[in-house]
């Protein structure tokens, strides 16, 4: 509930601050966000199922395969991309942009996917699914940095609620053990 309330607060504040005359753009954004959420849910479920199966692939191989798939998907979307940068940027700025895109692709896509694969294999699905909220909170932080502003109080509150929701989920899965449980475990090991 904390996560849902936090997401709702952030979205209400953002949409209310948007240009109301651009309703079609806002609706397209909501539709795209909903589709992305559905895809992430499906990805999380399929990824967890694959990584927990008896014949699960090696984590690095699985991550590499997903990277190849993402690269092919990116190539298919390339005709839809905007190439205005080539008209307005110098050669050094273009190479800097390409280098930064490669670093971010490796760091945030490949490495993050590998971490997700490891988490999917070792954590309960309900807990590993919480990782998407961390991505949302970091996305907000990057957005605020891009806009060069601090979050509004309601946006910050929404992000804090999302973070608190994840912490609550982690706490629910990490119940402290009683001394009697610890002694039973110690006796069983002996």
Kindly report, residue by residue over 138-190, the tens digit of the pLDDT.
888 888 888 899 999 999 999 999 889 888 888 887 776 555 555 554 444 44
113 belongs to a structural domain: yes
Q: How confident is residue 44, by pLDDT bands cut at 50, 70 and 90? A: confident
**Token digits of residue 181:** 């449980």
Domain limits for position 137? 2-50+58-73+86-189
Specify whether the CB–CB gap between 41 and 49 falls below 8 A.
no
Specify whether the CB–CB gap between 67 and 109 falls below 8 A.
yes
79 belongs to a structural domain: no
Task: Say yes or no to pLDDT of 23 above 80.
Answer: no
158 belongs to a structural domain: yes
SS3 152: coil
- Classify residue 20 by its DSSP letter: G
Task: Say yes or no to pLDDT of 28 above 80.
Answer: yes
81 belongs to a structural domain: no
115 belongs to a structural domain: yes
Q: Is the pTM of this model over 0.85?
A: no
80 belongs to a structural domain: no
SS3 149: coil
Domain count, the chain: 1
pLDDT for 188: 47
78 belongs to a structural domain: no
Q: How confident is residue 84, by pLDDT bands cut at 50, 70 and 90? A: low
Q: What is the rounded radius of gyration, in angstroms, for the C-alpha atoms of the chain? A: 21
d(CA 180, CA 106): 46
Residues 6+ apart with CB under 8 A from 98: none
Average pLDDT of the segment spanning 89-94: 76
């Amino acid at each position: 509930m904390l996560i849902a309330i936090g997401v709702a607060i952030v979205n209400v504040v953002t949409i209310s601050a948007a240009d109301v005359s651009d309703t079609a753009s806002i609706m397209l954004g909501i539709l795209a966000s909903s589709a992305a959420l559905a895809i992430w849910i499906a990805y999380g479920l399929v990824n967890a199922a694959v990584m927990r199966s008896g014949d699960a692939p090696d984590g690095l191989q699985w991550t590499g395969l997903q990277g190849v798939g993402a690269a092919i998907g990116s190539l298919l979307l390339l005709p839809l991309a905007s190439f205005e940068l080539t008209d307005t940027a110098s050669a050094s700025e273009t190479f800097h942009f390409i280098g930064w895109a490669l670093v971010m692709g490796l760091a945030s896509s490949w490495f993050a996917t590998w971490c997700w694969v490891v988490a999917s294999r070792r954590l309960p699905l309900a807990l590993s699914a919480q990782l998407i909220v961390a991505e949302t909170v970091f996305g907000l932080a990057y957005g605020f940095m891009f806009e060069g502003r601090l979050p509004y109080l309601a946006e910050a509150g929404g992000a804090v609620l999302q973070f608190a929701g994840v912490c609550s989920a982690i706490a629910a899965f990490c119940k402290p053990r009683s001394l009697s449980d610890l002694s039973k475990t110690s006796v069983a090991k002996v």
